[in-house]
Amino acid sequence: MSQTRHVPVMLQRCLDLLAPALEAPGPRPPVVVDCTLGLGGHSEALLAAFPTARLIALDRDKEALRLSGERLAPYGDRATLVHAVYDELPEVLDRLGIPKVQGVLFDLGVSSMQLDEADRGFAYARDAPLDMRMDQTTGIGAAEVLNTYPPGELVRILRAYGEEKQAKRIVSAVVREREKEPFSNSARLVELIREALPQAAMRTGGNPAKRTFQALRIEVNGELTVLERAIPAAVRSLAVGGRIAVLSYQSLEDRLVKQVLAAGAANTAPPGLPVVPERYQPRLKLLTRGAELPTEEEVAENRRAAPARLRGAQRIREDER
């Protein structure tokens, strides 16, 4: 697996968003968490850009941890790599004896390594076993979801996680085919989707299998459920003045991130109070106007940056006890 293919998305903008928190003077070195280590591109840049910072990096994929460990080895004990899902951040920090952190970065979705490793089954452009687990040591793969879930549940998943308008049509074809022979490889699923969709649906939105593969991946890895817990947990882990930056790649993730950050930045006082008590004041200040997009130049250099949406916020107040 070559690391040269891996280009971190919106890297400089992420560093700029986190910089004020990681460069501020304090009694102890600042701690920054990369909740989605992947191949370590963002982590390496954080360590290089902020030479006093300590990095805690999480990933559920053991192969990613191995490869990134090699990449980050020159930074010695400034980098602590942990096998964990990002909603486990509070437990990880507790184990390490770190009460609060100054920066948190999320780069959501499937990593470049997972897309590029053919046998992981994430990419619909090549034939591979239908696995899609980010942590291959646990849980069930995409083939088992396709072969065993009731039709109604499959329709729900394709609609909710893939925003697939043709979910019923695709699931009918899947159920018919799985009775003849269980699904095991991605090429057969891609072919089935092509045959199931009406011609009009084939003309828009790129590869017609894209939404189904996204939906299966989110289901297999519990991504949205994990994210619902992870973003609020990350916000709670920030010290006052600390900053969070989140890169999303599809509307479901971005909507969830937007809701959590907007809620934290809202005044929650009942209407009509002449003076707003401290407990109703916002805990966050938004650092981005809506979601920031990659530049045209970046998308030209790195096509995987195209769907990226970046949001950031700063912790401005502690939670009420």
The whole-number pLDDT of residue 30 equals 97
The whole-number pLDDT of residue 277 equals 85
Residue 35 has pLDDT above 80, yes or no: yes
Please say whether the beta carbons of 18 and 243 come within 8 A.
yes
- Please give the DSSP secondary-structure letter assigned to residue 305: G
Residue 189 Cα to chain centre, angstroms? 25
- Residue 41 is labelled as binding a ligand: yes
Confidence of residue 278 (pLDDT cuts 50, 70, 90): confident
In the beta sheet, which residues pair with residue 83? 59
Torsion angles phi and psi, residue 282, rounded to 5: -60, 145
The better pLDDT of the pair 16, 139 is held by 16
- Residue 127 is labelled as binding a ligand: no
Pick the range with the lowest mean pLDDT from 51-55, 145-149, 199-203, 217-221. Answer: 199-203
Domain 121-221, what fold?
Answer: DNA polymerase; domain 1 (1.10.150)
List the Cα angle 104/266/285 in 5-degree steps: 40
Q: E-strand spans in 101-193?
A: 101-107
The whole-number pLDDT of residue 285 equals 97
Q: Could you read off the pLDDT of 132-157 as tens digits, one per residue? A: 888 877 889 999 999 999 999 999 99
- Residue 161 is labelled as binding a ligand: no
Please say whether the beta carbons of 316 and 244 come within 8 A.
no
Confidence of residue 128 (pLDDT cuts 50, 70, 90): confident
Q: How many CA atoms lie within 13 A of 228 on its CB side?
A: 6
Confidence of residue 272 (pLDDT cuts 50, 70, 90): confident
- Residue 107 is labelled as binding a ligand: yes
Q: What is the pTM of this model?
A: 0.84
d(CA 198, CA 232): 41
d(CA 170, CA 195): 9
- Residue 42 is labelled as binding a ligand: yes
Domain 3-113+223-315, what fold?
Answer: Rossmann fold (3.40.50)
> Domain extents for the chain?
3-113+223-315, 121-221
- Residue 87 is labelled as binding a ligand: no
- Residue 59 is labelled as binding a ligand: yes
d(CA 56, CA 65): 12
Residue 115 has pLDDT above 80, yes or no: no
